[in-house]
Structure 1
Amino acid sequence: MSEQSLVDHVVATTGLTPAEAARLIDDVVAYHAEPVEEFVRRRHAQLRTAGSKNDEIFARIAEELAGRVVAAPRLSERQLRRMIYG
């Protein structure tokens, strides 16, 4: 479930009901939680179906990734510690 303060903000600024706002937020978060590998595979399949060639596809996916929020990779406790303590 979405964070209540965000739900309240969306309700106040859009006129959506709390349930509609929470669903919208959850849908957006789920969309952006897609791991990079899944995004690349999905977009490649979509673009191939549309008739694009691989050289066009890879350039387009790279461009899309540059402007897209993507899910962070899963990090182990050790990796997290190394980020903090070096």
Structure 2
Amino acid sequence: MTDDDLIHRIAASTGLPASVAARVVDDVLAWYDESVEAYVRRRHAELQLYGTRNAEAFARIAAELRDRRVAAPELSERQLRRIVYG
């Protein structure tokens, strides 16, 4: 359940109807609710689609994790590999 004050604030600041603002808030919260493990697996798969080699992919993922809104713990390349490959 989303905070009604946040929905009203988004609706007021964007001009969106409250129902659309609620959907936007839910989508944003779901985006940031993704676990570190799910994020690493998803980003690794995305980067592989574009031919990114593992060393570069893991470096990029580690940098992205440092910049996430809710910071993930610092993970080594080995930890990232273990998330992807088990």
Alignment of 1:39-58 (within 5 A): 39-58=39-58
Which protein shows a greater Rg? 1
Q: 4+ residue stretches of structure 1 with deviation over 3 A?
A: none
TM-score by length of 2: 0.79
TM-score by length of 1: 0.79
Q: Secondary structure at the match of 1:52?
A: coil
| Distance (whole Å) between structure 2 residues aligned to residue 45 and residue 6 of structure 1 | 33
Q: Which runs of 5+ in 2 are unaligned?
A: 73-86
| Distance (whole Å) between structure 1 residues aligned to residue 27 and residue 34 of structure 2 | 11
Q: CA deviation at 1:59?
A: 0.5
Q: Which runs of 5+ in 1 are unaligned?
A: 73-86
Q: Secondary structure at the match of 1:42?
A: helix
**Paired-residue identity, %:** 51
CA RMSD of aligned residues (A): 1.5
Which letter does structure 1 place at the counterpart of 2:25?
A: I
Pair 1:7-2:7 in alignment: yes
Q: CA deviation at 1:52?
A: 0.3
Contact 2:65/2:71 (<8 A) preserved: no
Report the CA distance shift for 1:70/1:41 in structure 2 as closer, same or farther (over 3 A): farther
Which letter does structure 1 place at the counterpart of 2:52?
A: S
Paired residues in the alignment total 72
Q: Which has the higher contact order (CA 8 A, sep 6+)?
A: 1
